[in-house]
């Protein structure tokens, strides 16, 4: 199933930013309001919101804040004018639309092609969707612990073995379904869903991000 929204931690991963930056994008009204939902205990974002946040913070050294906000609002206006199916597809990164949708000239000296920000975000979004195919949480399985799909093997258990020095080859003797890719996705899941008492930082938990 294709994701329609992502958590704050997931949005931060998609944008290559800290969660603090993602929250700042909401608190300072950088992101247009229809790109996220605010709930009592959390926030949910459209995947496209991550691309918007990435653009805003990645270009802060070359454009003033008002110009960056104007660009984001202009782009969103273009998206909103599309047919509902096309609009939803873009907001959920299922589609990218026409190339000219993302080309903008805020003034005679600057030309912006937003496509590169979408491409980067979409690449990371595919990792999230791949993670969803490999890892699941179900109240009826291991009391809701995150496990590798189709098994009762907790994600945290395998990662703890690896952290203790166990090799993947050795683990595969007991868990033959494990692959290097599944381990990397498990690390990503662990970084995005830390247990209480651990720092909630994707970049710290996974040096490759």
Confidence (pLDDT) at 199: 47
Contacts of 27 (CB under 8 A, 6+ apart): none
Q: pLDDT, tens digit, for every residue of 139-186?
A: 999 999 999 999 999 999 999 999 999 999 999 999 999 999 999 999
Final residue before a domain boundary, out of 81, 108, 128 = 128
Q: How far is CA 106 from CA 72, 110, 187, in A?
A: 11, 6, 40
Count up the domains in the chain and report the number: 2
**Neighbouring-strand partners of residue 45:** 6, 36
Domain housing 33: 8-128
Does some domain include residue 3?
no
d(CA 181, CA 98): 33
Q: Using one digit for the tens of pLDDT, what is the confidence trace for 87-119?
A: 999 999 988 888 888 988 877 777 888 999 999
47 and 108 share one domain: yes
Distance (Å, rounded) from C-alpha 29 to C-alpha 104? 21
Kindly state whether residues 108 and 163 are assigned to the same domain. Answer: no
Tell me how crowded residue 87 is: count the other CB atoms within 10 A of its CB.
Answer: 16
Both 154 and 201 in one domain: the answer is yes
Query: 34 and 114: one domain?
Result: yes
End-to-end CA distance of the chain: 25
Q: Looking at the structure, do residues 107 and 149 belong to the same domain, yes or no?
A: no
**Based on the domain organization, do 42 and 105 belong to the same domain?**
yes
């Amino acid at each position: 199933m294709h994701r329609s929204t992502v958590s704050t931690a997931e949005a931060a991963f998609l944008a290559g930013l800290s969660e603090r930056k993602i929250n700042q994008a909401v608190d300072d009204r950088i992101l247009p309001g229809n790109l996220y939902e605010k709930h009592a205990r959390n926030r949910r974002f459209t995947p496209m919101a991550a691309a918007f946040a990435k653009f805003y913070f990645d270009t802060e050294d070359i454009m003033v804040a008002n110009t960056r906000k104007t660009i984001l609002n202009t782009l969103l206006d273009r998206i909103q004018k599309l047919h509902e199916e096309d609009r939803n597809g873009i907001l959920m990164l299922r589609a990218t639309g026409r190339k000219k949708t993302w080309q903008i000239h805020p003034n005679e000296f600057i030309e912006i092609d937003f496509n590169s920000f979408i491409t980067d975000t979409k690449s990371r979004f595919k990792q999230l969707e791949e993670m969803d195919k490999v890892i699941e949480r179900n109240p009826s399985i291991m009391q809701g612990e995150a496990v590798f799909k189709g098994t009762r093997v907790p994600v945290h258990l395998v990662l703890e073995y690896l952290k203790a020095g166990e090799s993947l080859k050795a683990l595969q003797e007991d868990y033959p379904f494990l692959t290097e890719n599944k381990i990397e996705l498990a690390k990503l899941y662990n970084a995005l869903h830390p247990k209480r008492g651990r720092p909630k930082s994707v970049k710290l938990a996974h040096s490759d991000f």
